[in-house]
Structure 1
């Protein structure tokens, strides 16, 4: 299995039992994330490419997942990963949470750098996701790909972001690409230990039902 994600997948603040959602490293634990829990459930060989704050269209810093997902060293554009070394049966993409926040922040430096004063259109958002999805499909022509989102407010009722993903997947027209949207957890901050377990159980059930694993 291979996962692409942001802070949710990193296990950001997962062990912070206060209400502060602390960014301190001692509270982050990827081992307790839904991704790692799911991989262990299936006893799967496992790769994870994740970074807190990263998006597909815009991040909190001057690069996005399509810029760095294929690098051994994310800071070195010449440091390329050989995708033939690992061929996952299932790829899970859980991105767009940060995009959903930052495309509404015209005061942020990355918004200004990328968009000027005008937020991206729906077509731009969908095409950016579709482009990244195509790049993953090119690397893994035989994999089943799950385009996920959640469980923070990007999947809250009324959010357009699941719809953007669904539209991109529809445009790809690939029968081995699926969508799964984690239900909104409706609590403050990042998912904690129990919420990550819930996510894992939900994803496991989806995989077992869809793929008969």
Structure 2
């Protein structure tokens, strides 16, 4: 005669079986994907390195919310394709070659219409406009991604349409921030939006004093996770638009001081460069905010006098630099940054 099973063990076994069945059911029903394996080319593949503030929370799509974001990886095989959700404009460079512009493409986009020689190749993709959603790579059968060689150090550029590169030929890619990062051999991010102010105003100007710490410039949540990268230097160019939104001198100086504190809290070791706006707006207030922070013990902070940097031939209009103007800014500013952080 068999001994009947212990009732607690029976219940435990039944619960375990039910849990396993539920997990299997979720996986077949398309539930939360498992952590991607290195080399598979998916959005969460750790061999794909994202520069800038990307939202990768879904696991199936990566979305850059600020200008100038890009991704890098390396891959084996002879071809590579990228998945686009809808019509998008982006640049892609293979093996350090020219950045090829792909305009209005969607679906699975072939980045290597002429197959490469067998071996390991590098890839960089930077989005410009449209449906800027990265949905992963498609590789040859048996091929895989490889961890890319990425530059050491990172410089972050905080600003408005000038930092975005508005009216330059390739926007972010021909803006001074991108040019300086490439020249110094560092990674670079542009935490910038066209029309942005320092101070958030009642008539709708996005205020980067508040939005600097956000994943998305146009949403109060979520906060950006600053542990994802640390900047070696931060360049701030704000104040051009605040005048047109009625921001007073005292309010501007207070907000600039607040922004400096936020940047320092986010990047304790970074050197911060506060630029005089190229139109010379709020200069005494910017200098005063910087001096107050230095007097308060922040020794890694500089005001940068930009008087006379740009002439009429360097501007597309009375505000925005053209390609030549952005190169002029890069020529002036890159050595100032390099003197503090190297490169």
TM-score range, shorter chain: 0.7 to 0.9
Corresponding residue for residue 301 of structure 2: 177
Equivalent position to 1:35, from 177, 199, 212: 177
CA–CA distance in 2 between the matches of 1:168 and 1:211? 22
Contact in 2 for aligned 1:3/1:35 (Cα 8 Å): yes
Contact in 1 for aligned 2:184/2:338 (Cα 8 Å): no
Corresponding residue for residue 205 of structure 1: 335
Contiguous gaps of at least 5 residues in structure 2: 1-154
- Map residues 14-25 of structure 1 onto 2, 5 A cutoff: 14-15=168-169
Query: Judging changes above 3 Å, is the alpha-carbon distance between structure 1 residues 131 and 43 closer, same or farther for their aligned structure 2 residues?
Result: same
Instruction: Give aligned pairs, total.
Output: 179
CA–CA distance in 1 between the matches of 2:181 and 2:205? 30
What is the deviation of 1:63? 2.8
CA–CA distance in 2 between the matches of 1:210 and 1:79? 32
Deviations 1:109-151 (A, max 9, x none): xxxxxxxxxx62x332211110111111111111100011332
Query: Judging changes above 3 Å, is the alpha-carbon distance between structure 1 residues 136 and 194 closer, same or farther for their aligned structure 2 residues?
Result: same
CA–CA distance in 2 between the matches of 1:84 and 1:211? 20
TM-score by length of 1: 0.76
- Map residues 79-118 of structure 1 onto 2, 5 A cutoff: 79-103=222-246
2:187 matches 1:45: yes
Relative to total residues, which structure has the larger strand share, 1 or 2?
Answer: 2
Query: Judging changes above 3 Å, is the alpha-carbon distance between structure 1 residues 78 and 102 closer, same or farther for their aligned structure 2 residues?
Result: closer
CA–CA distance in 2 between the matches of 1:134 and 1:95? 15
What is the deviation of 1:58? 4.6
CA–CA distance in 2 between the matches of 1:212 and 1:46? 14
Contact in 1 for aligned 2:176/2:326 (Cα 8 Å): yes
CA–CA distance in 1 between the matches of 2:275 and 2:157? 10
Q: Indicate the RMSD between aligned Cα atoms, in angstroms.
A: 2.0
What is the deviation of 1:13? 0.8
TM-score by length of 2: 0.49
CA–CA distance in 2 between the matches of 1:13 and 1:34? 13
CA–CA distance in 1 between the matches of 2:214 and 2:337? 28
Corresponding residue for residue 71 of structure 1: 214
Contiguous gaps of at least 5 residues in structure 1: 16-27, 104-118
Which portions of structure 1, spanning 4 or more consecutive aligned residues, are displaced by more than 4 angstroms? none
Contact in 2 for aligned 1:58/1:98 (Cα 8 Å): no
> Which is higher, the Rg of structure 1 or of structure 2?
2
Greater relative CO (CA pairs within 8 A, separation 6+): 1
